[in-house]
């Protein structure tokens, strides 16, 4: 019975073939059909019985395979090709209008996605059979061979390589056709590589801000861009029903007044660990919970030696930046060596580490966390510099004298200052200048063949005239040499005082008004600039201001201790100082309690204040020349109040205050630079 059926189907197929291709030999057709399996024969007979044009279209795939076999035997039937794209390789699907490839067929049957509403090819179906696009359809999760996490797989296993998730998979590296940089790209095989950053994204009108931007999410109110998506997840407010500080989601949009629980709606997303309704970072966790896992992988379980550092990392004010710090920074790599005991937890081990800058950053972090004792690093660096400088001296006798001078005068004075007045950084520039000047002076005497014991006033005068710009600094060395009976006592002329330019009062007050009222400027820059413009403070003193120097009176006033007495800050300057105490500065990395981070201007390094030179550079970008502005402020104050009052209020010595009273006046005036920029725009008081 089956043989008769197969024979009848072969005869039907052969009749259809010879009708469309009369020139083909019947024996060739019979030979091809003889090698065709039963299932393929059933498909062929059913397809050709319904519509003989399937031979011309080459669809469905069984008909396409028959046509290719016949063409290989010399048939004149057309080669199967997609009706829409014209490709000849892929298998075709039969439609009323002809054969199309699977890709074109998906486009023909595209429908609106039940989730995002965009008309796309159907990738999957929901629980009730609704169509879903490739972005919205849930993908099965499997274990990634690289990171080991249960994630959606982007590349299947092949050629001995395991499956990779979306995060671990990187495309082939090629030169992007847009930016020209070698980066992981798409469309490399067709010669049109383009990286992810340059790939164009479809834009839609954001339902929150109204701008045409790439869509980050689709919520009940409509498409939402990335900026509004982040803002919505971070937006907190008092719920109109429960009066709790929650994320407001109803009614949809920026004007929401109720939280998800009170509105009876599903929240945007909730962290699976802390139940916080916040944006998810990884594996259903918010950014802080994911940071805690990453910090635990780096340092170990809480309760060990590095627990204070673990708490500092988890409490970081910028958790997203802290994720990057753990994953790719130099200090984090050194910290791994400390945790694994590859490197000893000591100052000496960090001193000898080849990555000096990363080790220095980590040192400040360990000291602020209490894992290393405090050490005056500037003093240690000065000692190392002295050793290197003495090695550069060729004459053994001069080297011996300089070593004694450095040990008993330069370094001893620096150590005493460090013990007496513990600062974030002990000043060492003067010490280096004194030793370098002494070395140059001894070299000058050796060239003149004059021993130090036979030094005369004439030799000293020649040194002052022909020596380097800092020749007057040799007085410290000569004073020490005289006390050691190495030379006679000499008198040196005092260094001529420099009267530099000062900023005139009009320009100074104009810039002060700008800093008081322009909220677009960095808050720390505004406060530092006002301390220079109004109170004539040095940058080093501004950098070393402590939080406890700001006090508050019972009447609500704000006072700042700059000298022996505190001064009351006038409004609105007092409000700026209050904000500086409460707000976090964006350049700080780790949070720390006031006991370990007491500075009014905390710096990038944990437990350290902002560097004075960096404050000066930031003020110059605002058009403020610190030295000229300070001179102008002190000249104005000296002309309006007694020297004793200035000395007590601003922390000046009485001699310095009196000297400002006798200042010869402004030898030149300076105005803020870049006068064409908005930095010096008019601001009403």
- Model confidence at 657, pLDDT cuts 50, 70, 90, reads confident
Question: For residue 657, which of 564, 560, 546, 539 has the smallest C-alpha distance?
Answer: 564
Q: Note the pTM of the prediction, 2 decimals.
A: 0.58
Is residue 276 helix, strand or coil?
A: coil
What tokens appear for 634 in the block? Answer: 């002190």
Q: What is the pLDDT of residue 377?
A: 86
Residue 400's alpha-carbon distances to 410, 413, 575, 661, in angstroms, are 14, 19, 58, 46
Omega into 60 within 30° of 0, i.e. cis? yes
Mean pLDDT of the chain: 82
Q: What confidence score (pLDDT) does residue 2 get?
A: 64
pLDDT of res. 677: 29
Q: How sure is the predictor about 171, in pLDDT bands with cuts at 50, 70 and 90? A: confident
Question: What is residue 138's DSSP assignment?
Answer: P
pLDDT at 283: 73
Confidence of residue 527 (pLDDT cuts 50, 70, 90): very high
Interval 653-680 mean pLDDT:
51
Question: What's the pLDDT score for residue 440?
Answer: 92
pLDDT (mean) for 290-317: 85
DSSP secondary structure letter of residue 140? P
Could you read off the pLDDT of 577-597 as tens digits, one per residue? 998 888 756 555 555 444 446
More confident residue, 72 or 622: 622
Provide mean pLDDT across the span 257-267.
Answer: 75
Cα 644 from Cα 657, distance rounded (Å): 7
Instruction: Please say if the pLDDT value at position 514 is more than 60.
Output: yes
The full set of domain ranges for the chain reads 2-106, 377-483, 502-680
Of 515, 621, 651, the C-alpha closest to 573 is 515
How far, rounded to the nearest angstrom, does the alpha carbon of residue 256 sit from its chain's CA centroid?
32
> Of 14-23, 410-419, 516-525, 581-590, where does mean pLDDT reach its minimum?
581-590
Q: Say if residues 433 and 474 touch (Cβ distance below 8 Å).
A: no
CA–CA dist 315, 111 (Å, integer):
47
pLDDT of residue 675: 32
Counting Cα atoms < 13 Å in the Cβ hemisphere of 650 gives: 26
Confidence of residue 497 (pLDDT cuts 50, 70, 90): low
The lowest-confidence range among 22-26, 288-292, 429-433, 602-606 is 602-606
Range 182-208 average pLDDT:
87
Give 508's pLDDT tier (boundaries 50, 70, 90): very high
Distance CA 595, CA 368 (A): 9
Residue 679: per-residue pLDDT: 27
* 403 exposure class (CB count in 10 Å sphere: 0-12, 13-18, 19+): middle
Length of the chain: 685
> Which phi and psi angles does 594 have, rounded to 5°?
-60, -25
Helical spans, DSSP H, in 406-472:
411-420, 429-447, 457-466
Report pLDDT for 684: 33
CATH code of 502-680, in short, is 1.10.443
Cβ atoms within 10 Å of 181's Cβ, excluding its own: 11
Sequence-ordered list of residues with C-beta below 8 angstroms from that of 124, at least 6 positions apart, any chain: 132, 137, 138
Which of 194-203, 258-267, 366-375, 565-574 shows the highest mean pLDDT? 565-574
Residue 669 has pLDDT above 70, yes or no: no
Taking a C-beta distance cutoff of 8 angstroms, is the pair 321, 334 a contact?
no
Q: Is the pLDDT of residue 244 over 80?
A: no
255 pLDDT above the threshold of 50: yes
Q: Output the pLDDT for position 624.
A: 93
Q: In this predicted structure, what is the pLDDT of residue 498?
A: 65
Average pLDDT over residues 10-27: 80
pLDDT reported for residue 597: 63
**Residue range 278-306: average pLDDT?**
83
**pLDDT, average across residues 663-672:** 44
- pLDDT digits 0-9 by tens, 603-628: 777 777 888 888 999 999 999 999 99
Residue predicted with more confidence, 399 or 304: 399
Decide: 667 and 500 in contact? Cβ < 8 Å: yes
DSSP β-ladder status, 669-670 and 502-503: parallel
Buried b (16+ CB within 10 A) or exposed e, 275-312: eebbebbbeebbbbbbbbebbeebbeeeeeebebbbeb
Instruction: Report residue 396 CA to chain centroid gap.
Output: 51
pLDDT at 528: 93
Q: Which residues are 213's β-sheet partners?
A: 204
pLDDT digit string (tens) for 114-133? 877 778 888 888 878 888 88
DSSP of 216-275, one letter per residue? Answer: EEEETTEEEEHHHHHHHHH--EE-TTT--EE-EEESSSTT--EEHHHHTS--S---TTT-
pLDDT above 50 for 374: yes
Long-range contacts of 492-498 (CB under 8 A, 24+ apart): 492/460, 492/464, 493/464
Q: Which of 216-220, 291-295, 353-357, 517-521 has the lowest mean pLDDT?
A: 216-220
> Quick one: angle between helices 654-661 and 643-650, nearest 10?
130
- The sign of the dihedral angle between the CA atoms of 477, 483, 486, 487 is positive
Residue-level pLDDT at 431: 92
The DSSP string of 289-301 is HHHHHHHHHHH-S
Nearest to 586 by CA among 523, 539, 517, 542: 523
Beta-carbon count within 10 A of 546 CB: 13
What is the phi/psi pair of residue 212, to 5°?
-80, 105
Report d(CA 462, CA 446) in Å as an integer.
14
pLDDT confidence band for 400 (50 / 70 / 90) = very high
In this prediction, residues 208-226 reach a mean pLDDT of 83
E strands present in 113-189: 119-120, 124-125, 131-132, 141-143, 150-155, 164-165, 173-175, 182-186
Q: Is the pLDDT of residue 671 over 60?
A: no
């Amino acid at each position: 019975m089956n043989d008769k059926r197969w024979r009848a189907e072969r005869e039907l197929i052969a009749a259809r073939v010879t009708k469309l291709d009369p020139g083909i030999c019947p024996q060739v057709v019979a030979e091809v059909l003889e090698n065709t399996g039963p299932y393929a024969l059933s498909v062929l007979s059913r397809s050709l019985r319904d519509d003989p044009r399937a031979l011309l279209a080459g669809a469905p795939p069984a008909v396409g395979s028959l046509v290719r076999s016949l063409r290989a035997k010399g048939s004149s039937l057309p080669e199967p090709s997609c009706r829409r794209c014209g490709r000849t390789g892929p298998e075709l699907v039969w439609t009323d209008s002809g054969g199309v490839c699977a890709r074109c067929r998906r486009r023909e049957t595209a429908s609106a996605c039940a989730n995002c509403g965009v008309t796309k090819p159907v990738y999957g179906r929901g629980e009730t059979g609704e169509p879903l696009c490739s972005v919205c359809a849930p993908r099965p999760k499997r274990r990634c061979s690289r990171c080991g996490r249960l994630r959606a797989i982007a590349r299947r296993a092949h050629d001995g390589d395991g499956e990779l998730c979306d995060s671990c998979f990187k495309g082939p590296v090629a030169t992007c056709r847009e930016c020209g940089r070698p980066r992981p790209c798409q469309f490399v095989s067709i010669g049109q590589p383009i990286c992810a950053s340059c790939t164009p994204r479809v834009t839609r009108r954001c339902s929150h801000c109204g701008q045409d931007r790439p869509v980050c999410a689709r919520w009940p109110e409509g498409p939402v861009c990335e900026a509004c998506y982040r803002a919505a997840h971070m937006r907190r407010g008092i719920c109109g029903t429960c009066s709790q500080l929650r994320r407001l989601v109803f009614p949809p949009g920026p004007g929401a007044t109720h939280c998800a629980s009170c509105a009876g709606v599903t929240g945007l997303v909730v962290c699976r660990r802390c139940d916080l309704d916040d944006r998810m970072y990884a594996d259903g966790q918010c950014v802080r919970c994911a940071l805690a896992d990453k910090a635990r992988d780096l340092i170990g379980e809480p309760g060990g030696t590095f627990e204070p550092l673990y708490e500092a990392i988890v409490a970081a004010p910028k958790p997203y930046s802290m994720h990057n710090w753990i994953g790719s920074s130099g200090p984090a790599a050194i910290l791994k060596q400390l945790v694994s005991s590859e490197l000893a937890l000591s100052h000496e081990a960090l001193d000898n580490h080849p990555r000096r800058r990363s080790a220095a950053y980590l040192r400040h972090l360990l000291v602020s966390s209490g894992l290393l004792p405090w050490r005056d690093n500037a003093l240690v660096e000065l000692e190392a510099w002295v050793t290197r400088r003495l090695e550069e001296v060729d004459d053994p006798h001069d080297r011996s004298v300089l070593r004694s001078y450095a040990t008993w005068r330069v370094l001893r004075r620096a150590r005493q200052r460090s013990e007496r007045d513990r600062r974030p950084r002990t000043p060492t520039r003067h010490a280096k200048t004194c030793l370098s000047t002494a070395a140059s002076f001894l070299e000058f005497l050796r060239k003149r063949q004059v021993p130090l014991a036979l030094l005369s006033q004439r030799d000293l005068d020649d040194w002052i005239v022909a020596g380097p710009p800092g020749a007057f600094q040799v007085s410290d060395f000569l004073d020490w040499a005289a006390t050691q009976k190495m030379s006679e006592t000499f008198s040196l002329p005092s260094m001529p005082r420099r009267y530099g330019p000062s900023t005139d009062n009009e320009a100074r007050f104009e810039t002060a008004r700008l800093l008081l009222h322009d909220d677009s400027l960095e808050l720390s820059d505004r406060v530092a600039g006002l301390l220079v413009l109004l109170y004539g403070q040095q940058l080093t003193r501004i950098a070393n201001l402590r939080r406890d120097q700001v006090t508050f009176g019972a009447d609500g006033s704000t006072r700042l201790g700059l000298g022996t007495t505190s001064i009351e800050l006038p409004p609105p300057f007092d409000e700026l100082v209050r904000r500086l105490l409460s707000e976090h500065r964006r350049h700080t990395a780790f949070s720390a309690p006031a006991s370990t981070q007491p500075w009014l201007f905390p710096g990038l390094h944990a437990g350290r204040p902002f560097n004075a030179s960096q404050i000066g550079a930031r003020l110059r970008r605002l058009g403020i020349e610190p030295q000229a502005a300070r001179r102008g402020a002190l000249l104005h104050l000296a002309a309006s109040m007694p020297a004793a009052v200035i000395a007590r209020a601003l922390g000046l010595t009485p001699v310095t205050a009196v000297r400002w009273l006798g200042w010869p006046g402004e030898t030149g005036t300076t105005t803020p630079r870049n006068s064409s920029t908005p930095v010096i725009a008019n601001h009403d008081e």
